[in-house]
Amino acid sequence: MRATNPTTRNRWLASLSVAAATVAGLAVPQQAQAAAGDVSYVLNHTNVRVCGSVRQIQCPDGLGANGVKGSVVGDQWDRTWCWRDGEWAGEPSTNRWFKITANTTAGWKTGWVSAAQVPIQAFVPWCSSWN
């Protein structure tokens, strides 16, 4: 299109700019947002713990002695709230822990599982504490 007067030319340039911005927006992927409550796949017999440790130690933040709240019953998709780095554990060894809510041998429990036992991991935010 050949724009001859300034008003027509400006309208044409404005529509061209909008079209370019639309195409650019489609071509550039949007950054994923971490969402607490997305699901991760947790393996059978995974221990759900009070905090990110496998030893009987004092958990940080005044949670008391670390213990097992229950063991995951069957492989399952579980709500995953956040992640935090703690003690190294699992095979392969990792210090990443996820806070999940799972059906365990002691009923539905919310606690911490080693990322080594979570082969499909949700993209969730970082936890500011072990609570």
Each residue's pLDDT tens digit, 33-61: 678 999 999 999 999 998 888 876 667 65
pTM attached to this predicted model: 0.71
Q: How far apart are CA 32 and CA 50, in angstroms?
A: 29
Confidence at residue 21, expressed as pLDDT on a 0 to 100 scale: 45
Hey, what amino acid is at 83? W
DSSP label at residue 126: B
CA end-to-end distance (rounded Å), the chain: 64
Residue 92: cis peptide before it, omega within 30 degrees of 0: yes
18 pLDDT higher than 50: no
**Would you place residue 23 in the very low, low, confident or very high pLDDT band (cuts 50, 70, 90)?**
very low
Q: Which residue in the block uniquely carries the two structure tokens 């050949």?
A: 2
More confident residue, 5 or 38: 38
